[in-house]
Amino acid sequence: MEIFDFINKEENLLFSKLSKKDLEEIIYYLNLYLLEYRKTLNLESKDTFGIEIETEDIIDYNDIFSAFAIYEDEGWIKKEDSSLDDGLEFTSPALSDDKDSWLAIKRVCNILKNYSSINDKCAAHVHVGAQILPNNWEIFSRFLLLWATYEDVIYRFCNGEYSITRSGINDYALQCNFDFNEYYNLLSVRKESTFLQVFNELRKMDNNAVSFEKCSLLGVYRFNNTIEFRNPNGTLNPVIWQNNINLFMKMLYYVTSDRFNYDIILNRRRINTKNYLYFSNYNMIHLDNALEFCDLIFNTNLDKVYFLKQYLKNNNEDTKDFKKVLGLTR
The strand ranges marked E within the chain are: 49-55, 77-79, 88-91, 124-129, 210-211, 226-229
Q: If pLDDT is split at 50, 70 and 90, which confidence band does 1 have?
A: confident
Query: Which pLDDT score, from 0 to 100, does residue 277 have?
Result: 82
Residues 87-131 have pLDDT tens digits of: 999 999 999 999 999 999 999 999 999 999 999 999 999 999 999
Tell me, yes or no, if the pTM score tops 0.95.
yes
Q: Count each helix (H run) and each strand (E run) in the chain, helices first.
A: 13, 6
Listed residue (259, 255, 286) closest to 271, CA to CA: 286
Task: List beta partners, residue 124.
Answer: 53
According to the model, what pLDDT value does residue 198 have? 97
SS3 213: coil
Q: Nearest 5°: CA angle at 325, between 319 and 330?
A: 160
In tens, the pLDDT along 35-87 reads: 999 999 999 999 999 999 999 999 999 999 999 999 999 999 999 999 999 89
Confidence (pLDDT) at 276: 84
pLDDT at 278 over 90: no
In single-letter form, the type of residue at position 166 comes to R
